[in-house]
Structure 1
Amino acid sequence: MIHLTATFEAKPGQEDTLKQLLLDMVQPTQNEVGCIRYTLLQEKGNPSIFMFQEQFINQAAFDAHCIEPHFLNLLDNLDGLLTKEPSITFFEQL
C-alpha cells in the first residue's frame, strides 16, 4: 500500500486558480483502478495551502497515476501558481 501527502502553497492572488486546478484532479484520480483514497484539503486559516491525502493499492498504481493525462495537465499548469515546489511525503502504515 502506498500512502502519501502532496502539499501545495499558492502565490498570493493565485489561490482560486490553484484550487480549481487541484479540484480538477479529484474525480479522475478517484476513478483510477488502483486509487483507494484521494482527498483534497485546504488549510483552515491559510487558504493558500492545499494538501492531497493519497492512498494507492501498490507502487504500480501510483506510478500509473503519475502518467495519467489529468496528472500531466496539473504539472503543465502549475507554473507561476506556487510559492515553492510541491512537498511530497510518503508514509508507512503502522
Structure 2
Amino acid sequence: MIHLTAQFCAKMGKEDALYQLLTAILAPTRNEKGCIRYCLFQDQSDSRKFLFQEQFSDKNAFDSHCKETHFTDLIANLNGLLEEEPKITFYNAIEA
C-alpha cells in the first residue's frame, strides 16, 4: 500500500486558479485502477495552502497515476501558480 501527502501553496492571488486545477483531477484520479483514497483539503487559516491525502494499492498503481494525462496536465499547468515546489511525503502504515 502506498500512502502519501502532497502539499501545495499558491502565490498570492493565484488561489482560485490553483483550486480549479487541483479539483479538476479529483474525479478522474478516483476512478483510476488502484486508487483507494484521493482527498483534497484547503487550509482553514490560509486559503493558499492545499493538501492531498492519497492512498494507492501498490507502487504500480501510483506510478500509473503519475503517467495519466490529467496528472501530467496538472503538473504542466502549475507554472507561475506556486509559491514554492510541492512537498510530497510518503508514509508507512502502522498496524497496531
Q: TM-score, normalised by structure 1?
A: 0.99
**4+ residue runs over 2 A deviation:** none
In the TM superposition, residue 66 of structure 1 has moved relative to its aligned partner by 0.2
In the TM superposition, residue 60 of structure 1 has moved relative to its aligned partner by 0.2
Q: TM-score, normalised by structure 2?
A: 0.97
Q: Write the distance in 1 (CA, Å) between the matches of 2:33 and 2:63.
A: 12
Aligned length: 94
Structure 2 counterpart SS, 1:70:
helix
Structure 2 counterpart SS, 1:83:
coil
In the TM superposition, residue 67 of structure 1 has moved relative to its aligned partner by 0.3
Q: Write the distance in 2 (CA, Å) between the matches of 1:28 and 1:6.
A: 17
| AA in 1 matched with 2:66 | C
How high is the sequence identity, in percent, across the aligned residues?
55
| AA in 1 matched with 2:47 | P
Q: Which residue of 1 aligns with 2:36?
A: 36
Structure 2 gaps, min length 5? none
Structure 1 gaps, min length 5? none
